Structure 1
Amino acid sequence: MKNLWKEFKEFAFTGNVIDMAVGVILGGALKDVVTALVNMLMGVISGIIKIPASLDEAVFKMSIGPAGTVSIKYGAFVSSFINFLLLALCIFLIVKSINKAKDKLKKEEESKPDEAAKPDDIVLLEEIRDLLKNK
């Protein structure tokens, strides 16, 4: 039982799992922001184009003769698709900026001279000293 608990703690508190949990929480919050943005934009566009303010109510009606009409409710799909595109764009921009920052830090680390590296002649002299000690 102790081993199981120990393994669970190692799994649950590693950096990757915690990072993923933070990402899920922020993603949920970002989704709400993007949904509010889409609703606001659709309110403005609906005033210009004369479509329903909420895309969920948008319907295409088509008559099929004496049998009546067919209603195609396309609004919910269009609204979800716009939400998806904006959310994907936001996540792309966030990931791109994080990768750019990581690359910049990596280049700075690579450009720093390695202070721990010893000159070749010192390394050679230390090897000779160690060989002489062993004799």
Structure 2
Amino acid sequence: MRKILISTTLLLAAALSATAAHALDASETPVVVTPLASRTETASGQPITLPQKNVQVLVSSYEIAPGATLPVHKHPFPRYAYVEGGTLQVTNVETGKSTTYKSGDFIIEMIGQWHQATNVGADPVKLLVIDQVEEGTKNTVLRQ
């Protein structure tokens, strides 16, 4: 499990740490790396911290219909999302601050803060979501 965590962390760090798109040596390897993000904080300015035991990586795709608003919720563990399509507005209900994300943006969601998201565009929002949780737990808590 430790090797999986280290491998996952290294892959995520490598994907997020590059500063410009570049070929790995296009003459030998037809691979182009395009950096999408490099962050050390969540969307609300918190330092990114990982679960302390038995880390499990969950990968999901989400599709949010135009005009749909997700219920108020929070995440106890890190959640990362790549916006594949659409326009999503995320509002921290504790501070009232909203941020709008569009296709190609990378979101590092706030941890332990109540927020909600609304598809503010005419097209479905498509997200690739990566969660890092303590094994066997969920990463979304709905406000009652």
TM-score (norm 1): 0.26
TM-score (norm 2): 0.25
- Greater RCO (CA < 8 Å, at least 6 residues apart): 2
Query: Where is the strand percentage greater, Structure 1 or Structure 2?
Result: 2
